[in-house]
Amino acid sequence: MDTSYVGSDDEYPPVKIVYPTLETVDDSIGGQPGAQTLFCTRAMWIKDDYPKHLFVNSKSKRTGLIMHVKMILGLFRDLGKSGLQKGNVKASAEPSSSKNKINDSDSSNFIDTRAKGFLYVGSHNFTPAAWGRLVASTSSSKRKSKSGDNIQASKLEISNWELGVVMPLSSDEEVKSLPTWERPAKRYSDGKTKNSKIPWYANPPPKLAFEDSLIDFFTLDAYSLHNRHRMQYSYPVT
């Protein structure tokens, strides 16, 4: 994370939204019936203010599978060789004497740049119900941004009960191995076909057809597993 973003009211770090294209879903083992838990609608996508430029294709490391995982990968930008920074103020990463010790009250404002980043894993869907929405506060208090403009006081309303874990990533190997999708993920704008430039829209087929597709899929999968098991192990003749 760039130091310009530390403690900033006006800037956000670069964000990518990992979501499968229509082509990725069509090419998956379960096809469209297997992607009914992923929701992006055409009505949302065609809005002028929808963040299309942030979308990158979601391809599982397990080839052919569509993921329904909730993860956030956050990578810190190179803040220099020093270990700790606060804005543009630097502190040594080496063990320090008590006179140079950082107070506990200040430690939350510093970033340990020896960490590569963090990985969130949890139950949150990418929705306002899970993460919350900002609504105008009834309070009349206002604050000012760094540019001096008044900012309307607001509060965060969250509808769901969710649980997640944030894990520090301490090595390049962890950054590479722990996320479940292929990286770097390709932007939709880099797609070479029509269906690789648009997201998968969740449009469930009729109920019975959907159920039949799932039954066929799981029956075939169970049959394949059974045959592989028989090939690997011999059964005694009775």
Q: Which of 21-25, 150-154, 159-163 has the lowest mean pLDDT?
A: 150-154
pTM check: above 0.75: no
Give the DSSP H/E element, type plus range, for residue 121.
Answer: strand 117-122
Region 217-231 average pLDDT: 43
- Residue 194 class from Cβ within 10 Å (0-12 exposed, 13-18 middle, 19+ buried)? exposed
Segment 59-63 long-range contacts (CB within 8 Å, at least 24 positions apart): 59/20, 59/24, 59/181, 59/182, 59/185, 60/180, 60/181, 60/182, 61/180, 61/181, 61/182, 62/180
For residues 191 and 196, what is the distance between their CA atoms, to the nearest angstrom? 5
For residues 86-114, b (16+ Cβ closer than 10 Å) or e, as one string?
Answer: beeebeeeeeeeeeeeeeeeeeeebbebe
The share of the chain scoring above pLDDT 70, in percent, equals 58
3-state secondary structure at position 222:
helix
Phi/psi of residue 106, each to 5°? -100, -15
For residues 32 and 27, what is the distance between their CA atoms, to the nearest angstrom? 9
Region 230-235 average pLDDT: 36
Higher pLDDT, 213 or 29: 29
Which tokens belong to 189? 């704008």
For residues 138-152, b (16+ Cβ closer than 10 Å) or e, as one string?
Answer: eeeeeeeeeeeeeee
Q: Which of 23-32, 64-73, 206-215 has the lowest mean pLDDT?
A: 206-215
Residue 162 pLDDT > 80, yes or no? yes
Other CB atoms within 10 A of residue 21 CB? 24
Q: Please, are residues 151 and 145 in contact by the beta-carbon 8 Å criterion?
A: yes
Per-residue pLDDT tens digits for 108-159: 555 555 789 999 999 998 888 999 998 887 655 556 556 666 666 688 899 9
Residue 233 pLDDT > 50, yes or no? no
